[in-house]
Chains A and B, each alone.
Chain A
């Protein structure tokens, strides 16, 4: 595999930190129950406790989707880098 001396791309990149944050945020929000265990403000009569958690379904979906897009781009770039290097070696 690695007969050519290879400069390994860094494992931790800004993009990957953002991905990690996107995936981690729902855990903080949902497990901190004290932050949302209240009745007011209500939304069309539904207590805050319930509509806030349902709103988080949408927020976490958006976050996971963002993570997915960023990850795809990250992988593409990595592959492109590997391919151009492979081409130069050959």
Chain B
């Protein structure tokens, strides 16, 4: 790593950062609605986003800075295994094509802001709704922390992260500033800020990838050369584990892992509150279906990006912290000013999802904990105020996490978060299609999945850690190594189904279902569907 600060790159980085900051504050005025004090307005952008804004917002939301750093970093570390992100993102779209439009319809019909709102309305169970809300908040927190880790990686490579001996305050000052800016504009502009900034982020990222994927292979002598060098590097045996570092093509033993990771992650992604927030902010169910046909563009980008991991090996990038591999590759390969553009892309790429995630977590807290359990008679204004404050608290929590704990802790928690969030799938997606499941059975299934997933993940050791060393373990009864989240999910479903039979036979009381079958197919323009939710507008439509 070069010493000192890369001045040109830093200047370009700061320029873009300032530009998006101004945009973030101006965003509040963009497509402004009449009633700013409602949670729909701040937390869902007035539910008014069309196909393209939704595309940018979802893309900016799902393909985070951490993804951009972590996927090629995984390839850099172990080869083929890291590429599971591509089949994972391929499988998401056919999946959400089937269930998200139903969620959109029922949410717009009943004014649901979060997934927990829906679960409570469908199953008439506050405890199930609380379980879903807590899981969502727990899973989102480390995810936000990882966004800050992404910014930190970029700052480190630019030389402003400071060395080991720098005073902690100086060392963390740039991160604190970036964080302060993020917090301030999310607070003032709500979901509109990340939606607007996502345009800048995606333009920069597409530009950087297009350049990287053409320019770097030419400099390195073509893909033949790159893969040959990578193959050599993976074949070297790691003395710590006595196994080769990785493989260019997954051997048969790791194919189960590859497939279960892809499937489990695809099932989990749209359980995350931030994915749902971005979805519900679109203005019709057609927008969502249309988006499933254009969102895969991002998967293509992710695939190309993953290849950068091989390039980092071929270019001789040698970092002990894999997270730094790609920023370091950019610094080594690109002229300074373009490295600055690339860093800005990653940095801004972290701000967008961090903002949406904190909004989503705040919505969950306000709607499903504050309003359901603490202050049932809260007004719309109070809800928005609490949400804004909580979004701030969530971010401060994430910051504290990153500053006080080792980075690996954030990564471990994020892996756990993925396992946990998948356990809300039966209640949410199951509930969208059938009312057959019993609410208590769903709750029990969720608990079993959570406990099994956590215990199994605790038992995974890696060369560097004794516990939480990864998210794969032996699948009981199959003997293959697979994704813990998926195994826990299967257990969850089995428990839910069996207990539903039992509880129905025992005539346990079912909750009241406030939704009706036709609610799930309603579209904008149908009677009772709230498109733009400020009461004034909704009222005038009747």
Contacts and interface: CB of A to CB of B under 8 A. Distances in A.
B263 A31 contact: yes
B86 A68 contact: no
Contacts of A39: 248-249
Contacts of A38: 249
A46 B255 contact: no
Interface in B239-298: 248-252, 255, 258-259, 262-263, 289-290, 292-293, 296-297
Nearest to B85: A53
B303 A50 contact: yes
A9 interface: no
A45 B225 contact: yes
Given A31-B263, A39-B248, A53 B296 contact: no
Contacts of A33: 250, 255, 258-259
B93 A60 contact: yes
A60 B226 contact: no
Of A26, A34, A44, A57, most B-chain CB atoms within 10 Å = A57
B223 A56 contact: no
Interface in B67-106: 80, 83, 86-87, 89-91, 93-94, 97-98
Interface SS of chain A: helix, strand, loop or mixed? helix
Given A37-B255, A45-B222, A68-B290, A50 B307 contact: yes
Contact of A46 (B87, B91, B223): B223
A11 to B, nearest CB: 13
Interface string A8-47: 0000000000000011101100111110011100101111
Contacts of B86: 53-54, 57
Interface string A48-90: 0110011011101101110110010000000000000000000
Of A24, A39, A58, A61, most B-chain CB atoms within 10 Å = A61
Nearest to A44: B223
A61 to B, nearest CB: 4
B249 A37 contact: yes
Contacts of A53: 83, 86-87, 90, 303
Nearest to A31: B259
A38 B97 CA distance: 31
Interface of B: 80, 83, 86-87, 89-91, 93-94, 97-98, 222-227, 248-252, 255, 258-259, 262-263, 289-290, 292-293, 296-297, 299-300, 303-304, 307
Of A46, A53, A58, A65, most B-chain CB atoms within 10 Å = A53
Interface SS of chain B: helix, strand, loop or mixed? helix
Contacts of B300: 54, 57-58
A47 B223 CA distance: 9
A31 B259 CA distance: 5
Given A46-B227, A50-B83, A71-B289, A64 B307 contact: no
A47 B299 CA distance: 18
Nearest to A56: B90
23 contacts: A22-B94, A23-B98, A27-B94, A31-B262, A31-B263, A33-B258, A39-B249, A45-B224, A45-B227, A46-B307, A47-B227, A47-B248, A49-B249, A54-B300, A54-B304, A57-B296, A57-B303, A60-B90, A61-B93, A61-B297, A63-B94, A65-B293, A68-B290
Interface of A: 22-24, 26-27, 30-34, 37-39, 42, 44-47, 49-50, 53-54, 56-58, 60-61, 63-65, 67-68, 71
Contacts of A67: 94, 97
Contacts of A27: 91, 94, 263
Nearest to A34: B255
Nearest to A33: B255
Contact of A26 (B94, B227, B297): B94
A44 B227 CA distance: 11
Contacts of B263: 27, 31
Contacts of B94: 22-24, 26-27, 60, 63-64, 67
A57 B224 contact: no
Nearest to B88: A30
Contacts of B227: 42, 45-47
A47 B249 CA distance: 8
A53 to B, nearest CB: 5
Contact of B91 (A26, A32, A42, A44): A26
Contacts of A56: 87, 90
Contacts of B89: 57
Contacts of A54: 86, 300, 303-304
A22 to B, nearest CB: 8
A33 B290 CA distance: 29
Contacts of B255: 33-34, 37
A40 B258 CA distance: 20
Closest 6 CB pairs of A and B: A45-B223, A45-B224, A30-B87, A23-B94, A33-B255, A65-B293
Contact of B262 (A23, A30, A63): A30
Nearest to B75: A50
Contacts of A32: 259
A74 B304 CA distance: 36
A39 B80 CA distance: 11
B303 A64 contact: no
Nearest to B224: A45
B246 to A, nearest CB: 13
Contacts of A63: 94
B307 A68 contact: no
A42 B249 CA distance: 12
B394 to A, nearest CB: 33
Contact of A49 (B226, B248, B290): B248
Given A34-B252, A71-B289, 19 more contacts: A23-B97, A26-B94, A31-B259, A37-B251, A39-B248, A45-B222, A47-B249, A49-B250, A53-B87, A54-B303, A56-B87, A57-B90, A57-B296, A60-B90, A61-B93, A61-B293, A64-B94, A64-B292, A68-B290
